[in-house]
Amino acid sequence: MLAVIIVAVLVPAAAFVIAFPDRTDYVGNCLAGAGGTALVLAAVAALPGRRPGLVVAGTAAAIVAGVGTELTLLRLAFCDPVDLATSHSTRSSTGRASSRRPARRLVAGPGGNR
């Protein structure tokens, strides 16, 4: 699972380095988003038993905390929409890689979660 998480973080980071070599802040936001989510999910992993619902909740909490941090503590620095999208997309990919379940099982369809 750790290898999947590393790939889920490094592939977008490498893509930003190649596509925007002059914007290192994009890579920083990418890695910070993944790192913040990994900290939250480490606490979830410390709980006994498998709880995929907590992985989703932990990822959502990390995203909300990231938005809150950008809008309050980091308010003095310029934050553009790409910064938010970059950090939060890697937060979601880190959470998805940590879930250990196929994507179709995380989304409830007309028949509910199966």
SS (H, E, C) 41-99: HHHHHCCCCCCHHHHHHHHHHHHHHHHHHHHCCCCCCCCCHHHHHHHHHHHHHHHHHHC
Indicate whether 3 pLDDT > 90.
no
* pLDDT digit string, tens, across residues 79-107: 677 777 888 788 888 887 777 654 444 44
Give the pLDDT confidence score for residue 43 in this predicted structure: 83
Centroid of chain to Cα 114? 25
- List, for residues 29-77, the tens digit of each pLDDT value: 888 888 888 888 888 888 887 777 888 888 888 888 887 777 777 666 6
Residue that has been written with the tokens 């790409």 in this structure: 82
Contact 109, 95 (CB under 8 A): no
Structure confidence at residue 75 (pLDDT): 65
Give the span between the Cα atoms of 103 and 15, in whole angstroms.
23
Categorize the per-residue pLDDT at 1 as very low, low, confident or very high, splitting at 50, 70 and 90.
low
